[in-house]
Structure 1
Amino acid sequence: MSISRMLLARMFLTGAILTEVAGTSSMTLIADNGAGWLNYLPMWALIALSYLMLAKAAKTISIGIAFALWEGLGIALITLVSVLFLEYRISTQELIGLALAIVGIVMVTLGESHDEPTSAPAPRQIGEAPCTR
């Protein structure tokens, strides 16, 4: 069974979003004890893995679309994790902002085209002077 490039790119993007949410959410769980910077290693590893998967996704998905989805859905999911598990209270203004962000992400994603790239123009011949008028 062959996986299409777009499906693989979407899987990488989903993985990038989930690891970014896990890494960012783990910041509140980092113990404030004598271990120092070692407590931050899991967070750094998850966020580094997120960037690696985002880069893999961006080879097929437009970087603007991939980053918009990664950032926007990441913020929405981090807020959801905060509300459900970290006892964060979301204000009406924050809720409206998140709703607008999600609507924007949906609109950008729906506007994405998957056309084949156009061919590059033929190179000019050596000695051919460019038109200056």
Structure 2
Amino acid sequence: MYKKLHSPLFIAWSLLMAAIVCEIAGTSFMAAAARSGGYLGYAWMAAALALSYYLLSLALRAISVGVAYAVWEGLGLVGLTAVSVWLFDETLVTQEIIGLGLALQGLVCVTLGEGDEQEAAA
């Protein structure tokens, strides 16, 4: 178990998840700054998005770029949608909920394909 937690692949996926959190935070700061007119939110946005890209680049050492970017954008989209509903009182119509569900299904397929590819290479 200890070896699995320190494997390059586990670390890469952990970095990717951290990149997604930073992307959601950065985009949320942007939305808040745009609505309030304050410039401090834009500074936080820039810092969070820069950190997100940096963490994404580190994750690319062990995860293929197509899979990492798809997961980063897809989970970022779903997470940001949840934050916008929760913090900004936005609403979703049924069509949007179905679309998010389909996006998540696509991410599962892409991610499972990545696992098969890595097993074949080993």
For normalisation by structure 2, the TM-score amounts to 0.86
Q: CA deviation at 1:73?
A: 0.5
Match of 1:111 in 2: 113
Q: Which runs of 5+ in 1 are unaligned?
A: 118-133
What do the CA deviations read for 1:47-93 (whole angstroms, capped 9, x no partner)? 01000000100111011110010000000000011112210100111
Letter in 2 for 1:70: W
Letter in 1 for 2:37: D
Letter in 1 for 2:62: T
How many residues are aligned here?
114
Match of 2:21 in 1: 18
Q: Is 1:72 matched up with 2:74?
A: yes
Q: Distance in 2 between matches of 1:41 and 1:84?
A: 23
Alignment of 1:1-133 (within 5 A): 3-30=6-33, 31-33=36-38, 36=39, 38-112=40-114, 113-114=117-118, 115-116=120-121
Cα RMSD for the two superposed structures: 1.6
Q: CA deviation at 1:39?
A: 3.9
SS of aligned partner of 2:101: helix
Q: Is the 8 A contact 2:30 2:41 kept in 1?
A: no
Higher radius of gyration, 1 or 2? 1
Q: Distance in 2 between matches of 1:69 and 1:39?
A: 26
Q: CA deviation at 1:28?
A: 2.3
Q: Distance in 1 between matches of 2:18 and 2:121?
A: 26
